[in-house]
Amino acid sequence: MIHELVAKTQAGFSDLFGYEATGVWSAPGRVNLIGEHTDYNEGYVFPFAINRRTFAALALREDSTVRVASSFSDDIHQVDIANISSDAKNEWAAYPFGVAWAIQQLAEVSPSGFDCFIESDVPVGAGLSSSAAIECAVALGLNELWGAGLDRRKLARAGQLGENEIVGAPTGIMDQSASLLGEIDHGVFLDCRSLEATPIELGFSSADLELLIIDTKVAHRLVDGGYAARRAACETGATEMGVTSLRDLSIEDLEKAKEILDEVTFRRVRHVVTENQRVLDTIRTLREAGPTAIGQLMHASHESMRDDFEISVDELDTAVETAIRHGAIGARMTGGGFGGAAIALTPIGKISEVTLSILAEFEALGYAKPDIFAVSAAPGAIREV
């Protein structure tokens, strides 16, 4: 079945550029079930691709001009394929420009210019990786049109490289990996050191569970200082502990870390080390006991982000605690932090109670009205037509 947005994306392209696109590629947003701020520490993550997607209609041009446009902005951003740089004027177009640049770094291609039109139903700014969805849809399309021959892991790296160098956000590889490697009803268990990805069945629907997203509407931006500061603290911690990355530390090493590191760096390190263990425990628990047994691990992850890594905000804490009080099995903030969304694994019979309680609690506290909706695990990036 072709997604209704495919036709809209094709029409958007031909209305604007005056000819038909060669194809439409799509890629999903992602939600992270557990494993936060572990990816750039070469640790473990367990996200899944969600049933919200971004669509990119593309066609190569005879010349070296790149034009990108979208249904969510009136601007057409234009650049020469040889001159892509990290220019603030790029705005959101830095994502497609970034992957176009990064593919050239990772593959032998003689790239021509292209036209690109983007449609999306991935909520922006909610911590659901709307940016990775753009990167991966465009990356898959350009890879094919340019004959770059990169596999999905390399395309994930292209997305990350573009985001690091052209967008200017020092993010890890989780979001793009989930968007490219996702499978229906499965999470992507990713070892961010070896980049080995294992699909793990989630089993939510057979356990009568839904994963609710609570988008707090508190804007989070990965180019702001908080994310980079956490990453820097992890690097300091690893250097002072004499390891290449925090992945090399285990729970037993924390005693020594406490002696060596200053108090704040120690807590940053403790989050990453315990979070890696929680990802492994979640995978084992899911396999042995099913999804109803992972709630404690989700909550422990949230407490660690709130107290040790200090990336939560009041709205996220309220969403998490209210969800649990009203029947969610587990809940935690998800994504980079400092705003964005929380997730709540909720029995179907409790969805309306959890939803209404969060809405009421937010209103009572004078917070902006959150958006609450369920997501399911969907396939990764594909060519649609």
Give me the active site residues, please: 175
Choose the stretch contacting ligand GLA; rule: CB under 6 A; options: 34-42, 54-62, 250-258, 302-310.
34-42
Q: Judged by CB under 6 A, does residue 98 bind ligand GLA?
A: no
Q: If DSSP codes are grouped into helix, strand and coil, which group holds residue 121?
A: coil
Q: Which residue has the tokens 């021959």?
A: 149
- For the beta carbon of residue 69, count every other beta carbon within 10 angstroms: 22
- Contact status: 190 vs ligand GLA (CB under 6 A): no
Residue 43 as a binder of ligand GLA (CB under 6 A): the answer is no
Query: Does 135 help bind ligand GLA (rule: CB under 6 A)?
Result: no
Smallest distance, Å, CB 162 to ligand GLA?
12
Q: Answer yes or no whether residue 174 interacts with ligand GLA by CB under 6 A.
A: yes
Instruction: Name the one range near ligand GLA by CB under 6 A: 19-27, 30-38, 181-189, 265-273.
Output: 30-38
Alpha helices in 113-171 (DSSP H): 130-145, 152-162
Assess 322 for contact with ligand GLA (CB under 6 A). no
User: Would you state the structure tokens that stand for residue 119, as one six-digit string?
Assistant: 């449609």
Check residue 204 for interaction with ligand GLA (CB under 6 A).
no
Query: Mind spelling out the 3-state secondary structure of 158-225?
Result: HHHHHHHHHHCCCCCCHHHHHHHHCECCEEEEEECCCCCEEEEECCCHHHCEEEEEEECCCCCCCCCH
| Gap between the Cα atoms of 336 and 319, Å rounded | 16
Span of 35-43, 75-83, 238-246, 301-309 interacting with ligand GLA by CB under 6 A:
35-43
Is 309 a binder of ligand GLA (CB under 6 A)? no
Q: What are phi and psi of 164, to 5 degrees?
A: -65, -45
Counting contacts by CB under 6 A, is residue 122 touching ligand GLA?
A: no
Decide: is 308 part of the binding site for ligand GLA (CB under 6 A). Answer: no
Exactly one of 96, 141, 336, 370 binds ligand GLA (CB under 6 A); that residue is 336
Among 13, 17, 25, 40, binds ligand GLA (CB under 6 A): 40
* Residue among 21, 36, 103, 328 that touches ligand GLA (CB under 6 A): 36
- Provide the sign of the torsion angle of the four alpha carbons 347, 353, 354, 356, taken in this order: positive
Contacts of ligand GLA in 257-286 (CB under 6 A): none
Closest residue by Cα to residue 191 from 309, 294, 38: 38
Look at the block and give the residue holding tokens 């509407």.
217
Question: Would you count residue 123 as binding ligand GLA (CB under 6 A)?
Answer: no
Q: What is the secondary structure of 32-97 as a DSSP string?
A: EEE--S-GGGT-EEEEEEEEEEEEEEEEE-SSSEEEEEETTEEEEEEEEGGG----GGGGGGHHHH
Looking at the Cβ atoms of 6 and 49, the one nearer to ligand GLA is 49
Residue 315 in the binding site for ligand GLA (CB under 6 A)? no
Q: How far is the CB of 205 from ligand GLA (least distance, A)?
A: 26
User: Using the rule CB under 6 A, which residue among 172, 295, 330, 380 binds ligand GLA?
Assistant: 172
Which amino acid is present at 146? Answer: W
Instruction: Report the nearest approach of ligand GLA to the CB of residue 78 (Å).
Output: 27
Residue (53 or 350) nearer to ligand GLA, CB: 53
Residue in the structure block whose two tokens are 């200053």:
262
CA–CA separation, 26 and 11 (whole Å): 15
Q: Could you give phi then psi for residue 6, rounded to 5 degrees?
A: -65, -50
Q: Does 37 bind ligand GLA (CB under 6 A)?
A: yes
**What is the signed CA dihedral for 293, 299, 302, 308, rounded to 10 degrees?**
-110
175 binds ligand GLA (CB under 6 A): yes
Stretch that binds ligand GLA, among 114-122, 170-178, 291-299, 319-327 (CB under 6 A): 170-178
Count of residues that interact with ligand GLA, criterion CB under 6 A: 12
The token pair at 227 is 């994310």
Binding site for ligand GLA (CB under 6 A): 32, 36-37, 39-40, 171-172, 174-175, 222, 335-336
